[in-house]
Amino acid sequence: MLLSTKNLSFSHPRQQAIHFPDIQLTSGESLLILGKSGSGKTTLLNLLGGLAQPATGEILIDKVSLSDLKGQKLDLFRGQHIGIVFQKPHLITALTVFENLQLANFFSKKKNDQLMQLLKDLGLADKSKSSVLTLSEGEAQRVSIARALANQPKLILADEPTSSLDDDATQKVIDLLKEQAEKIGAGLIIVTHDQRVKNHISNFIEVKSS
Ligand SMILES: Nc1ncnc2c1ncn2[C@@H]1O[C@H](COP(=O)(O)OP(=O)(O)OP(=O)(O)O)[C@@H](O)[C@H]1O
């Protein structure tokens, strides 16, 4: 089992606790996290990525309990094993496309000689030397996917990767995420309230706030 969670809950300050359904995910499998706006989908993704600590429950990734990792160890574990695609690309604007990917490798102490191939797979080969400031929104989104994949993670977490994209681009981004996850044998979890994504991935859990 790549990922398993049990009895997870989280309380934002002055908010009712959110209880999450348990997740079981094997390598190569895809899962959607669905739920209304404000139900706690991003909160769950943050817990799975070790970016927030649960109030109760446990998260095991490849048999490692995230709660046993702190500080630098947690950062290194995240960098090496978890690729996160955030809602907004959050690229380093002073760097080129290729340098943004190299930086991901640098922080996680990983070497990947397939970065150029990755950009090719995502239709970005001719943008490798471009400043990220010159990219369209869809291109920047694909670069942020490439960056999440740059360390060949075991688990890919994507938060609303298609919310600002049209139907064609949505299909392309979901296909790319699935193809790339399959290529490196990773598990893929996508948070969305985009009904279109349901046509591409059938496995889902639903987060409800009460
Ligand atoms: N930093 C915070 N402090 C207090 N409450 C928060 C904080 N972040 C989120 N919340 C609350 O926690 C709940 C869950 O938020 P979350 O962002 O996880 O929802 P979501 O399902 O991802 O929503 P959306 O689909 O709109 O992005 C919401 O009620 C939100 O107002």
Q: Does residue 176 have a pLDDT over 90?
A: no
**Domain count for the chain:** 1
Q: Is 180 in the pocket of ligand 1 (CB under 6 A)?
A: no
Kindly report the CATH number assigned to the domain that includes residue 81.
Answer: 3.40.50.300
- For the question of an ipTM over 0.85, the answer is yes
Domain span including residue 169:
29-39+72-206
> Could you tell me if residue 64 is inside a domain?
no
**Ligand 1: which residue has its CA nearest to atom 18?**
40
What spacing in Å lies between the alpha carbon of 197 and ligand 1's midpoint?
A: 21
pLDDT of amino acid 195 = 80
Q: Is 46 in the pocket of ligand 1 (CB under 6 A)?
A: no
pLDDT of amino acid 77 = 96
Q: How many CB atoms lie within 10 A of CB 7?
A: 11
DSSP bridge pairs for 206 = 34
List Cα–Cα distances, 117 to 74, 112, 186, in angstroms.
29, 10, 17
Testing ligand 1's pocket by substitution, the residue of 14, 15, 37 carrying the most ligand atoms inside 8 A of its CB is: 15
Band of residue 210 on the pLDDT scale cut at 50, 70, 90:
low
Question: Mean pLDDT, the chain, as a whole number?
Answer: 93
> Could you tell me if residue 65 is inside a domain?
no
> Could you tell me if residue 54 is inside a domain?
no
Note the pLDDT tens digit of each residue in 79-111: 999 999 998 889 999 999 999 999 999 988 889
Q: Is 56 in the pocket of ligand 1 (CB under 6 A)?
A: no
